[in-house]
Amino acid sequence: MEIDAQFHQLNIDYTTGNTLVTFTTRISPAKVENLIEPLKDKDTILSLKRKTKRRTKDANALMWACIQELADVQKPPEDKWSCYLRMLKKYGQYTYLLCDEEALDGLSRQWRELEIVGEVVINNQKKIGVLCFFGSHTYTTGEFSILLDGIIAEMIADGLEPPMSEEVKASLERWEHEISIANK
């Protein structure tokens, strides 16, 4: 379960030594109670992370417009999704995993794209080396900038007119501004 909330207060119960942490949320009390009810009187693990704002629709729209142009000039023409996956493989963020062959199907459902890079033997067991690519919706500003710059370089290499650098810069600046506001 995830809830958007803001830290409110920290108190210490000096008789027990326990710490009471309070957060505020815009979710209705009834909905919060429904979410919390199954956890009452049970040990619970609470995980906190800073909320970050995703990139602007402008930056995302710009990326998809560039991908569509790239896809259209491929011989034979490529669909937009295949072009996106090709760009992720060339310029995207990934992690490297070793897994059993039986786990490949499950991995393919969890990651945007996979690339098998080889096999290794560990403790007499065959493992498959896999690059697991993150979807661009998870990227930081810097990571998205690398992806977009790569896509634009591909456009230039294919003889396409890239978006004006001012337009790219403005999209990324709007995204960074929105992230900085959300992180305050």
CA–CA separation, 52 and 94 (whole Å): 20
Q: What distances in angstroms separate CA 27 from CA 5, 24, 52, 55, 96, one per listed residue?
A: 9, 9, 19, 24, 38
pLDDT tens, N- to C-terminus, the chain (184 residues): 778 888 888 899 888 988 988 888 888 888 888 888 888 888 888 888 777 655 566 788 889 999 999 999 999 989 999 999 999 999 999 999 999 999 999 998 888 889 999 999 999 999 999 999 999 988 888 899 999 999 999 999 999 988 876 666 677 777 777 777 777 6
Determine how many CB atoms are found less than 10 A away from the CB of residue 63.
22
CA–CA separation, 125 and 119 (whole Å): 10
What are 80's two structure tokens? Answer: 């937009």
Domain ranges of the chain: 1-49, 57-182
What is the CATH class of 57-182?
mainly alpha
pTM: predicted TM-score of the whole model, two decimal places: 0.60
